[in-house]
Amino acid sequence: MKINNILVAMIVLIPLFSSAGPLTVLLSKEAEILAAKAGKMKLGEEAEKIISSNFKAGVAAKLPHEDLIKVPPFKLDKDVSSSDEFFELFKGNLADSLHVSWQKTSGYTTRMKPVKVKGMSPSTEAERLKYLEDNKIPKEYWDDIRLVDGSLKEDIQRIPNRWLAANNKAENDKAAEVAATLLREYIKRGGKTDPESLKIFMQKASDLVHLQWMHRRMQDPGWASYTPPDQVAPFAQLSRENAQKDIDIMDQAFQHYAKSQEEFVAGQIKKMDETVKKLNAKGDTHQADSLERTKELYIAKLEAIKAQNRMLQYKPAAAPATGPAAAVR
């Protein structure tokens, strides 16, 4: 194992305790050190280390905030997770979900934010229409993207994440990528799915989600002026409320992994069906019959995943809190 991997493993596996309070942490530069470490992490390697190291007896006899973690018993299909197409679908669905959670808890009725295109905000009606058409924004949201005081703004309280401008959905997308990568790599590399193993994974993954959030936050020179001090601390030191935000992000990752599996397999079936029709139209019945048999296997797979997810459907006791990645907009 490389030296930097050992250091990162130590960062992940050893709780970062300190006697300092959140404000002292903020002022003492401990947060910057943690964020710098987070910035160097390779998420695939992290997931592999979680699998190989965390399930040894006694590694995590007492987990920080372990009583907050509810293990979601979804069916997690390793074969599906290996597809890059599935990962993009999963990541997008998760980002959408994180934004919905923020919308439900934001307290805003309207929240207008600038739209940036190559660093500039469109300032004319012609530029507005071009932006709407170029980005294929559904017409139901056109009235929520309008010129305000000479610059284009959008109502992020109403518009789904996938239709937001890149600058307004970046944090949701990055938070989703971190959580999705951790879960995907965990499953792909053979992570155990018994309740105790998943509980350890959830805690460690939530820790990484928080570290990555702090790293992104501190890329902005003015981060300290708009970041609540009690959120800038090691995961083990967070309040129950703030720790739950990170845990909820991973909880949503599990839920959308399961839902995205169904959506992905259904999409593959649809593509195969279209191809079968084209092959039959060309008279290539041999290939059409072969693909039809493959399609039948996918249909059976989809029904099995659906049945399993219905039986194991997990719902939190309360609506998920907005994650720290979306806490300040």
Mind listing the pLDDT tens digit for each residue in 251-263? Answer: 999 889 888 988 9
**Same domain for 16 and 124?**
no
3-state DSSP helix/strand/coil percent for the chain, to nearest 5? 65, 5, 30
Encoding tokens for residue 166?
């890149």
**Same domain for 79 and 123?**
no
Q: Is residue 204 part of a domain?
A: yes
**Same domain for 151 and 7?**
no
Q: Is residue 300 part of a domain?
A: no
Tell me, what's the pLDDT at 249?
A: 95
Instruction: Spell 84-104 as b/e; 16+ CB within 10 A means b.
Output: eebbebbbbbbbbbbbbbbbe
Task: Look at the chain and report how many structural domains it folds into.
Answer: 2
Q: Strand (E) positions, 62-162?
A: 112-114, 145-148, 151-155
Tell me, what's the pLDDT at 47?
A: 67
What are the residue ranges of helices labelled H in the chain? 3-13, 22-27, 30-39, 43-53, 78-81, 84-105, 125-134, 166-188, 195-217, 223-226, 240-282, 285-311
Tell me, what's the pLDDT at 294?
A: 93
Tell me, what's the pLDDT at 95?
A: 96
Strand partners, 152: 147
Q: Is residue 279 part of a domain?
A: no
**Same domain for 87 and 27?**
yes
- Domain assignment of residue 146, given as a range: 112-155
**Same domain for 220 and 199?**
yes
**Same domain for 33 and 117?**
no
**Same domain for 102 and 203?**
yes
Give the DSSP H or E segment for 137. Answer: none
Q: d(Cα 288, Cα 272) in Å, to the nearest integer? A: 9
**Which residues are CB-contacts of 256 (< 8 A; sequence separation ≥ 6)?**
90, 93, 94, 97
Q: Is residue 25 part of a domain?
A: yes
**Same domain for 197 and 76?**
yes
Question: What pTM was estimated for this model as a whole?
Answer: 0.79
Encoding tokens for residue 94?
């998760």
What count of other Cβ atoms lies within 10 Å of the Cβ of residue 185?
A: 20
Tell me, what's the pLDDT at 227?
A: 83
Provide the 3-class DSSP secondary structure of residue 64: coil
Give the Å distances, CA to CA, from 269 to 25, 290, 319.
52, 14, 33
Which portions of the chain are predicted below pLDDT 50? 1-28, 55, 57-58, 60, 314-329
**Same domain for 37 and 95?**
yes
**Same domain for 83 and 121?**
no
Q: Is residue 198 part of a domain?
A: yes
